[in-house]
Structure 1
């Protein structure tokens, strides 16, 4: 990890002062006159204040871009739309029942310093190459403007110097909170944010993803206010699939990612259904282990139900999808959610097949067959996307040519994925 003097040097360099001595002196920096201002602005970096902050951060725990303690957690988010930033942030949600608070805003001074330490580590690893400071979203001139009429301290300077946003989680009345617990809280907040706003909330992968050396800037969609804290615990893997779907503009990736949410539960639900049905049969009063015909009937039941894959032991995927739908999806709730996404979608699914794969229409009023029809429409479409055999041109998805029609299927799989994520979650 970068030393105190290395971090001090980096901060001064970012603010326009190079080659300071490695000592414990305070450093006064002068920002050049910003247009319209009457006098230059001075910023003083007090050595003791910076050292205290450095020691505090050094004693915290970290994992990649995650910085946490027993009661706090912080993670950088990739949010780039400045107009929305100014209008909508900070986002604050308080779970008073469980003593948890969530906030999306400029990073804390501790997290800002931690990121600068990571940046310096990368620069140290590049010794022998041309050392270059990664581009900041907000650099010197915005700093000059922001602090020309106000007090300039480390707490105001460093977050604006970083220029990114972060998710902050704080817990109350707990002696210790593990990283796994914080991660579950983060996953819950991220999913409910995306569900409520329809926008992706994306985490940076690492410090080079956050501050790339080639000056490539990221571009993400805007976010809106979310003032209700999450009260459920979600499966992190399926939230990641959901996040991937929202983050992409490609309907192909969206569809496959939403489908992965459904596929995630195939084995679990299929096996549960299989065991339940088998128990019912062998405990039925008509069953007798002495009756060879009954034993054979059980054997055929198992064979037909599994249609075994010798390598994986997984059951039939279409049947598995239908079981997952029946387990987690309410048709009335599904129809309501689809209508909020696209008011015309329900009528379209009821009257139009998916032409490029001949997936069936959905009879919403058919209480007996609706789950089968939904499963077939989703599964046949999925197969068309992932299989590209030339001998099945009538069932093969053709990128660009079929893209608009595939886009019409997104509300269905999105609403199904959301229902599965929510109904498979646990109440906090």
Structure 2
């Protein structure tokens, strides 16, 4: 589809200023071809000034008229393709952010990893929420000031490209016209080629939520490392390991399952405690008699139903254990508050829409029936978990990577905040 961009020059300049921690100092209209010149000044550190003109913005945005948008972040036509990517690697190797340029003469295709093109960067700045500054990993004001000092003629767009030192895009250029699916296949091929040879995952971010979600969390929590206090609680190491894995990866599947593992850690304990309580309630009920065969058989039946035997192993209901965990750890008012702070549209989404690929049930977290909320919340989470795990063909609902990613992304904040409640609840004061 065509790329929507209906912002005025003034709106673009305001967003540039916001990301650079600058204010608009003055505007001057030139009778010549440059149009309006905007002078911006840094708000922090040395109050250095820099400019950008209406003409420079128009020239930067001009290529958008010849491009289309696929998913939410892939920009393309029949000879060009660009998408924002991230690099994930535990190996100490030359970072792909330092640049990559590969040419395939047979396919007449050129691959490049480099900072975003001018039109892509401006479009991304405007497409993301205004408070998503962190998505560009902007350097400190002192670094931005040094760029201006070293190159006084640099305009605002050139400065912001230098200041954001981690966000890169994958660019493909074809010498002949090709359909979109050819570019998509080339992206997949390069991803495998890089992973196989460099032990590095090159992950395309196809949806804006993937690009901005870290800044949403940053907005809710500490703004910088300078504001951190020393920890005053001790946490369960296994839970922290799962949580850190989820936070450290760009893979939505790994994120969801890692947060799920935090809850899963207590399934057997919570389920066993509930079963023991049920048995104790039955044994101490005034209507129960251990001498009455019928009463004993009913108790045995209840235990057997709760913990069926599969082969030689005794199991328990994972779905029921999840429901019990939610009952124990989740504060619905706190969960609603955090979700609303993160994204005000999520609560309505959860209440009205099922998870399409897993048939996860809608759940109205603002409802009045606490038991029904916990039941529906458990169903939504558990069915989604099963769809991620079950990759075989068949009747079971399953998750298809990339195709269903936009849907899964909306489920992750819900499970993240629940996992955090579990971790904090199980911690101890130091």
TM superposition score normalised by structure 1: 0.48
TM superposition score normalised by structure 2: 0.48
- Structure with a larger share of its residues in strand: 2
